[in-house]
Amino acid sequence: MDPIAQTLNEIKNAQQVLKETISFSFSNFRSEVLRVLEQQGFVAKVEKKGRGIKKTLEVHLKYQDKLPMISGFKKISKSSQRIFLPAKKIRGTKRGQGVVIISTSQGLMTALEAKKKKIGGEVICEVW
């Protein structure tokens, strides 16, 4: 399974049972995806822990009235089929409730940020 899809799935499952924190092995890409989710308010806080091989990411989950902030996600770009969009074709989420994460030449950002900066890129996932 794709590491980002697995990460999002584990966060969603942990929120279903009202866990406070969850840990993942460190990777720069995973760290950036979680940073975007933190900026958008889907997780409370992301912390780097440890050193070297034992480096981990600790994610503090966020709830609203005991309801999880992440109710679902859709992995758009997969290893078997990459989806790239130019800035003109970038759209937000269908309901406006979630966020689309795009990998651009200037790093990971939301679809709205990429559209404002007029940068295209690979569409990673949609989270709502």
Per-residue pLDDT, 92: 80
- The b-or-e profile of 7-33 (16+ CB within 10 A means b, else e) is bbeebbebbeeeeeebebebeeebebb
Q: Which of the following CATH numbers is that of domain 73-127: 3.40.920.10, 2.40.50.100, 3.40.350.10, 3.30.1490.10?
A: 3.30.1490.10
User: In this predicted model, what pLDDT tens digit does every residue of 68-112 receive, in sequence order?
Assistant: 999 999 999 998 999 999 999 998 877 778 999 999 999 999 999
Is 62 strand, coil or helix?
Answer: coil
Taken in order 105, 111, 117, 119, the sign of the CA dihedral is: positive
Per-residue pLDDT, 26: 96
Measured in residues, the chain has a length of: 128
User: In this predicted model, what pLDDT tens digit does every residue of 29-50 receive, in sequence order?
Assistant: 999 999 999 999 999 999 999 9
The two tokens of residue 9 are 């799935």
The two tokens of residue 94 are 């269908």
For the chain, which residues make up each domain, given as ranges?
3-68, 73-127
The β-bridge partners of 45 are 60
pTM of this structure: 0.93
Architecture of domain 3-68: 2-Layer Sandwich (3.30)
